[in-house]
Amino acid sequence: MERIAIFASGTGSNAKKIIEYFKAHPNIEVRLVVANKPDAPVLAMAKQQGVKTLLLDRPGFYQSEGALEALAEAQITFIVLAGFLWLVPPYLVNAYPNRIVNIHPALLPKFGGKGMYGMHVHRAVKETGETNTGITIHLVNEAYDEGDTLFQVRCPVTAADTPEQIAAKVRQLEHVHFAPVIEKYINALNS
């Protein structure tokens, strides 16, 4: 049985889709939602879904291995970053080699790196005149958005699209593809 912890910083729309996708799965369950903001809506959503939550603070996350202890206590075997804005520390990357995935709202390596998240990405896509964008699902290493790519899918960007319209197109791709790609990757790991 794979037991997933979803790390998120915001509303948790991707986290909700992932929880729902694996609700009745025979081999994969979402056991924990981890957030780094006490007022993050993802925490309330997780509780509504019956998933336990964990709140991280920056000093505890970076200056101790308390997060690792909490994950071990919950018997977590796999981590999904779904809009989690902090860089994952080396101790966590090392404890879960090839078992942490992230979703990025652009076609990496374009528009990746520190500070490139959410609307910052969609504005940059618009400002540079890109004709397409999309999502990248990738493994996590010790640098922002540099882990091996597992999956990419693109969508068109028109000259008339606003950053908000681009965000909506990308969010739709995230909601359709993230959970199935996680499932496929976990199945491949375990085959």
Q: What is the mean pLDDT of residues 142-171?
A: 97
**Residue pair 106/166 in contact by the 8 Å Cβ criterion:** no
The pLDDT assigned to 56 comes to 96
* pLDDT range class, residue 187, cuts 50, 70, 90: very high
Residues whose CB is less than 8 angstroms from the CB of residue 12 and which lie 6 or more positions away in sequence, other chains included: 6, 33, 40, 41, 42, 45, 46, 82, 83
Give the pLDDT score at 183.
98
Rounded to two decimals, the pTM is 0.97
Strand partners, 156: 132
Would you state the pLDDT for residue 14? Answer: 98
Q: Return the CATH architecture of domain 2-189.
A: 3-Layer(aba) Sandwich (3.40)
Mean pLDDT of the chain: 97
Q: For residue 89, give Cα distances in angstroms to 31, 46, 83, 110, 141.
A: 21, 24, 16, 23, 9
Q: Could you confirm whether 120 is annotated as catalytic? A: no
pLDDT over 90, % of the chain = 99
Dump pLDDT digits (tens) for 27-54. 999 999 999 999 999 999 999 999 999 9
Residue range 123-145: average pLDDT?
Answer: 97
pLDDT score for 172: 98
Active-site entry in 25, 104, 120, 138: 104
**In the predicted model, what is the mean pLDDT of residues 92-110?**
97
Residue ranges per domain, the chain?
2-189
